[in-house]
Amino acid sequence: MKYVNQPIRKTDAKALVTGKPVYTDDLAPKDCLIVKVLRSPHANAWIEDIKTGTASQTSGIVCVLTYKDVPKKQFTLAGQTYPELSPYDRLILDRHVRFVGDAVAIVAGETEEAVDKALKRIKVNYRVEAPVLDIHKAKDNPILVHPEDDWEAKVPVGADNRRNLCASRVEEEGDVDEVLASCKYTVEQTYRTRPNQQTMMETFRTYCSIDHFGRLNVVSSTQIPFHVRRIIGNALDIPASKVRVIKPRIGGGFGAKQTAVCEIYPAIVTWMTGRPSKIVYSRYESMICSSPRHEMEIRVRAGADEDGIVKALDVYTLSNGGAYGEHSPTTVGLSGHKSIALYRHTKAYRFAYDVVYTNVQAAGAYRGYGATQGIYAVESAVNELAHKMGMDPVKIRELNMPMEGEPLPAYGDCPTAPSCSMDRCLARAKEMMDWDAKYPFRDMGNGKVRGVGVAMGMQGSSIAGVDVGGADLKLNEDGSYTLGLGCTDMGTGCDTILVQMAAECLDTTMENIVVFGVDTDISPYDSGSYASATTYTTGNAVMQACDELRLRICALGAEMLGVSPEDVEFDGTVVSCKEKQVTLKEIAVKGTCGNCQELQVTRTYSSMISPPPFMVGMAEVEIDKETGSTQVVDYVAVVDCGTPINPNLARVQTEGGIAQGIGMALYEDVQYSEKGAVRNNSFMQYKIPSRQDIGDIRVEFQCSYEKSGPFGAKSIGELVIDTPCPAIADAVYNAAGVRVRELPITPEKVAMGILERELEN
């Protein structure tokens, strides 16, 4: 193939590296009102009185809004297809503030200085109540995070605001207790993951204006333009037809921008004043009032027979939704569905969960979307099971891993794996790491020891029967093509790979295709860039649009030649029949003059299955036994994402996801004070790994061919963050004999574990 499976440079690479104005704040009009939000200093309080008169009189201030001035209609900020599974539990502004950082008032003014001055002049009298901060005490607590009567769950997910429950469910197959009792080897352990921030380079930002039709135009750094349109319509209580959303280039999202974190604030200001306005979150705001990864506590019971075959898995997840329920009913499901399915011989399983409301900032989507937490727990439990059996952790996976055509327990989107090269991934990773020589550990001298660990991972390719990809393709009069997309390129390069597919299908050059991003007025509907959907779902829509447009080009070319469409051939340049031919440009011109055949195609695609990509990760860590300092010196990843459309971009995705996984494993932890305030609210306190912290990352691909995917492709975006946590945790155990079951694995935990072990001996 000429373009597909080739390491093509990103279409927007030059614009980005030369600093062209492509991001939201670059494009905002100079006369935008500056919008900022006054935020609550309390985790749980009621506004008894709020005085804004002095603030409103500040020079340069255009409006100050409180709960008295905005619609009283509940909505959710979760960007998922309607009907949303997340409860409708928000107002634009509310008397009841539910976390430190919750919105109290909106201020808009001509300058930032004026707005900052006005914010200080707002006087609020709060009735402070005790907050619910402990996830173990939240369920059925007499203190309710959402006591309001107009709280609503549109889909039955086990939510009950009177019990502080955002979701609750039990799924099981077979008799788990009976099968576990029959297993020769069992483990039962609880694993804890902490909230993590996505820390994308570009913080949340949006600008709004009113066009000459009186419609609200919203330009936002978002992964979900079409959902933002609906969310703003719901929040402002106006028809979605009155809202237009445009997505410029995005400086990273990683799931954070699958929640409409900031859009409603400039939207309400512009709608009420008629003036352009913009909001740009500071890094501080992005740390204290955004949408971090859900904190989860996961109890795993696992059992295997004498031969090492895993027979039963029992997983219970307790998830912290925070003050609002965005994405809480959906993330938790992946903690079981994507982890239990890794063990194909499982005869019985149980997956139960509770998601609770607490008085901390609302959690949301983050790469991996719950699977990361679940895979950490289940893979760690299986590693402990292997150690208990005296079996190499690689061996237990060789016996139990997913195989093509074999069952995927608890993975409802595909009962069996339609495509899978996990066996080749594991074999190649073992070879790359030189596992047999390094397992379990090596003493490096001078108090340093190195250990290795392994983990498997799987994800999905879109949400089966839900996600929709859209593509609009037209032939222009000069023989070029325009490809309109509804998905969101957030730096991943999806615009590039979709043009690669189109160029391959149309037998043309990539330079001959103009691609444009999302404008909800003119782009085909697309669910958005999340759930590892873009390559698989939108890619299929692009291919179908190309196939149909080729047929139409051939039909018009045949008409111009006076022959039957079945008799012509199209090579991307000319339509020919024997000795006669007509050029693509001539067809394009004919398509715009005296012609009734439309040379424009819109196609949407939604899959009834979600074929999972697979991955094996192996980590080598070095530990200083005196200080507990732990460093990843080598990480090997072998990935099955079907056919990589662009190996360079797939490799970068893998390396980035692993780096984030290393951060989750070793460094990152959103911490709250006893009053619910975020302690680490800047990069001075919240540490993410730099390039110097992550050692070597070596990536290879073992391709399978997914028949339902475009050119055999599956997804890759989320999968690649799933293996570092369990692999690193087991590497630490192998090196130092310390089992850390609560992330992050800090030097203090390792050093104290070593000391305790020495004292026991």
pLDDT of residue 96: 98
Tell me: pLDDT of 116 over 90.
yes
What is the predicted pLDDT for the residue at 359?
98
d(CA 523, CA 314) in angstroms, rounded, equals: 45
Report the alpha-carbon angle 614-620-622, nearest 5: 155
% of the chain surpassing 70 pLDDT? 100
Task: Render pLDDT for 584-623 as a digit per residue (tens, 0 to 9).
Answer: 999 999 998 888 889 999 999 999 999 999 999 999 999 9
Phi-psi region of 237 (alpha: psi -120 to 50; beta: other; left: phi over 0): left
Burial of 201 (C-beta count, 10 Å sphere; 0-12/13-18/19+)? exposed
Query: And the tokens for 542?
Result: 């692009």
| CB neighbours of residue 445 within 10 Å | 7
pLDDT of residue 593: 87
Task: Name which of 383, 418, 416 is nearest 536 in CA terms.
Answer: 418
pLDDT of residue 483 exceeding 90: yes
Calculate the average pLDDT of the chain. 97
The predicted structure's pLDDT at residue 597: 85
Structure confidence at residue 646 (pLDDT): 97
Asked if pLDDT for residue 361 goes beyond 80, the answer is yes
Looking up tokens 């001078």 gives: 446
Would you call 312 helix, strand, or coil by DSSP?
strand
Question: What tokens does 639 get?
Answer: 């990935």
Q: How confident is the model at residue 227 (pLDDT cuts 50, 70, 90)?
A: very high
Tens digits of per-residue pLDDT, 700-748?
Answer: 999 999 999 999 999 999 999 999 999 999 999 999 999 999 999 999 9
pLDDT at 761 over 80: no
| pLDDT for 16 | 87
pLDDT in tens, 567-591: 999 999 999 998 899 999 999 999 9
Q: How many residues does the chain have?
A: 761
Cα 671-673-677 angle, rounded to 5 deg? 85
* Residue spans of beta strands (DSSP E) within 163-309: 165-173, 185-193, 205-210, 216-220, 243-246, 277-280, 295-304
Position 531 confidence tier, pLDDT thresholds 50, 70, 90: confident
Distance separating alpha carbons of residues 578 and 582, to the nearest angstrom: 12
Q: What is the pLDDT of residues 534-555, one digit of tens each?
A: 999 999 999 999 999 999 999 9
Pairing mode of beta strands 696-701, 630-640: parallel
Backbone angle region of 734, left / alpha / beta, with phi > 0 → left and psi within -120 to 50 → alpha? alpha
Half-sphere exposure of 121 (CA within 13 A, CB side): 17
Check residue 490 and give its pLDDT. 86
pLDDT, tens digit, for every residue of 668-697? 999 999 999 999 999 999 999 998 899 999
| Three-state secondary structure string covering 182-202 | HCCEEEEEEEEECCCCCCCCC
pLDDT at 582: 97
Which residue type sits at 493? G
Residue 283 binned pLDDT confidence (cut-offs 50, 70, 90)? very high
Note the pTM of the prediction, 2 decimals.
0.97
pLDDT of residue 710: 98
Please give the Cα distance from 228 to 225 (Å, whole number).
5
HSE at residue 167, side-chain half, CA atoms within 13 A, is 28
What's the CA gap between 504 and 488, in Å, rounded? Answer: 21
| 547-580 core/surface letters (b: 16 or more CB in 10 A; e: else) | eebbebbbbbbbbbbebebeebebebebbbbeee
Q: What is the pLDDT of residue 565?
A: 95
pLDDT attached to residue 326? 97
Position 746 scores a pLDDT of 98
Element (H, E) at 542: helix 539-561
Q: List pLDDT tens digits, range 284-332.
A: 999 999 999 999 999 999 999 999 999 999 999 999 999 999 999 999 9
What's the pLDDT score for residue 332? 98
The reported pLDDT for the residue numbered 760 is 84
Count helices and strands in the chain by DSSP H and E runs: 20, 27
| pLDDT number for residue 592 | 87
Report the distance separating Cα 267 and Cα 279, nearest Å: 10
To the nearest whole percent, how much of the chain has pLDDT over 90? 95
